[in-house]
Amino acid sequence: MFKFLFGKSAKEPEVIVRETQRETVERALKEVNDILAGLSPRAVVTVDLQHGTVSVSLPEQMPDEAKALPAPDPTPASDGTAQSPEGKNAPP
């Protein structure tokens, strides 16, 4: 009658499924390989056996990163001559 106050009468044990260290490394390595295989400019992968580390050197500019262009000059020269950045007419 008062089950809602005290909860379930018989609690089921919680089963926590954890992956082993081997499964974690294999999964992470597969993910990294899948990502690196899709890169257009290939990344440089370095393995440091002394420290047991792996490093990836990516290009400075990736294809999906857009470079921002400078804003155009809001006041173009009205007489047809180019202007220098100081706002003075540039010599021809």
Per-residue pLDDT of the chain (92 residues; tens, 9 = 90+): 566 666 665 667 777 888 999 999 999 999 999 999 988 888 899 999 999 999 999 888 777 776 666 667 777 665 555 555 555 555 55
77 secondary structure, DSSP code: -
The pLDDT, as a whole number, for residue 75 is 73
The pLDDT, as a whole number, for residue 61 is 76
For the whole model, what pTM was predicted? Answer: 0.49
CA distance 79 to 89: 10
The pLDDT, as a whole number, for residue 41 is 83
Q: Is 83 helix (H, G, I), strand (E, B) or coil?
A: strand
CA distance 56 to 46: 6
